[in-house]
Amino acid sequence: MGRLSDGAGSESSKPVNIRDVALRAGVSTATVSRALATPERVRAALRSRVEAAVRELEYTPNLAARTLRAGASRMILIDAPHRIGGSFFAGLLTSLDEAFTAHGYTCIVGSTEQSDEKARRLIELAYARQIDGAVVLTGMATRIDGRSLVEANIPIVSICAELKGARSPCVVVDDEFWAVRQVELLVALGHRRLLYVGGVEGNYNEVRRRRGFKRAARAARLAARDLSFASGDYSLDSGVEAGRAFAAVFPRPSGVVCASDDMALGFMGFAAAAGLKCPEDYSIVGFDGIDYGRNWTPSLATIAQPRGEMGRVGADLMLRALGGAPLPPDTKIVLDCSLQLGGSTAPPRVTGAPRRRAPRRLT
């Protein structure tokens, strides 16, 4: 806690309070309060003076008291998937944090799907008004002890997936449409035997991406016997396991569609260790557009999601709701992805079947 100097080189034992900051900045206590609680409502020049006084006096506001007075905590919960180490979500969380921080909010990142105890604590924060709103990235409203975030009477915005069982504004991409583009890229190069490496079964995005894969395969008149499927969970490790299974079969599919870039990179890493070359032995397309994919060797062809825009648009929806101008709860904003070409795709190479290995198929 900062101390005020008495002007003679000694320090007063009196704790610094908001009046001291107002005196040092030459503004009213109301202006100091607004500058700290809602900085966007204070002119830049006044805000700079308040911030300078806060730094000089090492003032620490009483957040609990301020929350009670203002009726707002300036805290936003980001309800993320249990596995948030993936590169896609890391980029999305950064975008959200930057957007909320610019408006004076602090983000709490947690996962209500990780454990009942953690979900209970996060839901209790909402019911105790310790958070002002929640951004849900999982598509699920976890219910514990008969309660969930959607019944806590706080603004809810979902990103990446529509929130199951609730009507709330959401920001998504057309997963099915872009999964079709993955297949079309490979088919245009001449691939007729394809493997689909999927995400978590039943997941909002997985359902739509798998549906897009099957729809495009039918449109290209690919035979059912030439389509293979492997399960994953969007992680690098599950991509490694899919690559392990792929390396052990013959004849192999010549084209691989992955429901995430992390799985695609894990697949490529194992395949390379097993002596398979990309794109000579197989072509592969990911989904997400993470930075690692562009710097991989070969670079990964993928569907690039607009992570930065998703975060900014989602944060804007939340800020509008907190400011008293919420959109209708069924508002659905669909953003465009883009097909990002890379060195991981090429026309299939025709090779003969090895004599030493019995045919086996992926399931």
- pLDDT at residue 28, as a whole number: 87
Domain-located, residue 344:
no
- pLDDT at residue 165, as a whole number: 75
Sheet order of strands, 133-136 included: 106-110, 75-79, 133-136, 156-159, 170-173, 332-335
Q: Comparing C-alpha atoms, which of 333, 332, 258, 255 is closest to residue 288?
A: 258
- pLDDT at residue 6, as a whole number: 36
| CATH assignment at residue 53 | 1.10.260.40
Given pLDDT bands bounded at 50, 70 and 90, which one contains residue 59?
A: confident
Dihedral of alpha carbons 207, 140, 71, 92, sign: negative
Does residue 363 have a pLDDT over 80? no
Domain identity same for 169 and 311: yes
Under DSSP, is residue 39 helix (H, G, I), strand (E, B) or coil? Answer: helix
Chain Cα centroid distance, residue 349: 37
Find the radius of gyration of the CA atoms of the chain. Answer: 26
Domain identity same for 28 and 45: yes
Given pLDDT bands bounded at 50, 70 and 90, which one contains residue 64?
A: very low
Please, is 155 exposed, middle or buried when counting C-beta atoms within 10 Å of its C-beta (0-12, 13-18, 19+)?
A: buried
Does residue 197 have a pLDDT over 90? yes
Domain identity same for 168 and 314: yes
Does residue 305 have a pLDDT over 90? yes
**What's the number of domains the chain is made of?**
3
Domain-located, residue 354:
no
Backbone angles phi, psi at 286, to 5 degrees: -105, -170
Does residue 99 have a pLDDT over 70? yes
Q: Which of 94-108, 131-145, 340-354 has the lowest mean pLDDT?
A: 340-354
| CATH assignment at residue 145 | 3.40.50.2300
Domain-located, residue 356:
no
Domain-located, residue 350:
no
Report the first-to-last Cα separation within the chain, whole angstroms: 63
Q: Give the residue carrying structure tokens 């989602």.
A: 314
Does residue 166 have a pLDDT over 50? yes
Sheet order of strands, 227-230 included: 227-230, 194-197, 255-258, 283-288, 301-304, 338-340
pLDDT in tens, 111-127: 888 788 889 999 999 99
- pLDDT at residue 242, as a whole number: 97
Domain identity same for 200 and 279: yes
Given pLDDT bands bounded at 50, 70 and 90, which one contains residue 83?
A: low
Domain identity same for 35 and 136: no
Question: Within 13 Å, how many C-alpha atoms sit on residue 44's CB side?
Answer: 1
Domain-located, residue 128:
yes
Q: Give the residue carrying structure tokens 């930075």.
A: 291
Backbone torsion region of residue 298, taken as left when φ is above 0, otherwise alpha when ψ lies between -120 and 50, otherwise beta: beta
Domain identity same for 156 and 190: no
Domain-located, residue 216:
yes
Mean pLDDT of 292-316: 95
- Rounded to whole angstroms, the Cα distance separating 310 from 327 reads 17
Mean pLDDT of 179-200: 97
Element (H or E) spanning 53, and its range?
Answer: helix 44-57
- Rounded to whole angstroms, the Cα distance separating 33 from 41 reads 11
User: What percentage of residues in the chain have a pLDDT greater than 70?
Assistant: 87
- pLDDT at residue 356, as a whole number: 38
Full domain range(s) for residue 62: 3-70
pLDDT in tens, 260-300: 999 999 999 999 999 999 999 999 999 999 999 999 999 99
Higher pLDDT, 311 or 9: 311
Domain identity same for 41 and 157: no
Domain identity same for 159 and 186: no
Single pTM value for the model: 0.77
Q: Which of 13-22, 42-51, 112-121, 208-217 has the lowest mean pLDDT?
A: 13-22
Domain identity same for 284 and 314: no
Q: Give the torsion through C-alpha atoms of 121, 123, 128, 134, to 10 deg.
A: 120
As a whole number, the mean pLDDT across the chain is: 87
Q: Give the residue carrying structure tokens 């669909």.
A: 334
Q: Comparing C-alpha atoms, which of 268, 276, 316 is closest to residue 296?
A: 268
Residues 6+ apart with CB under 8 A from 187: 216, 220, 222, 255
Backbone angles phi, psi at 253, to 5 degrees: -60, 150
Does residue 315 have a pLDDT over 60? yes
Q: How many other C-beta atoms can be found within 10 angstroms of the C-beta atom of residue 280? A: 12
Chain Cα centroid distance, residue 185: 26
**What residues are paired with 135 via a beta bridge?**
78, 157
Domain identity same for 226 and 271: yes
Domain-located, residue 362:
no
Vertex 195 angle, CA 191 and 196, to 5°:
120
Mean pLDDT of 146-154: 89
Mean pLDDT of 101-106: 92
Domain identity same for 23 and 86: no
Locate 196 and state its tokens.
């689909």
Given pLDDT bands bounded at 50, 70 and 90, which one contains residue 361?
A: very low
Given pLDDT bands bounded at 50, 70 and 90, which one contains residue 352?
A: very low
Locate 173 and state its tokens.
């991409």
Domain identity same for 14 and 41: yes
Higher pLDDT, 95 or 361: 95
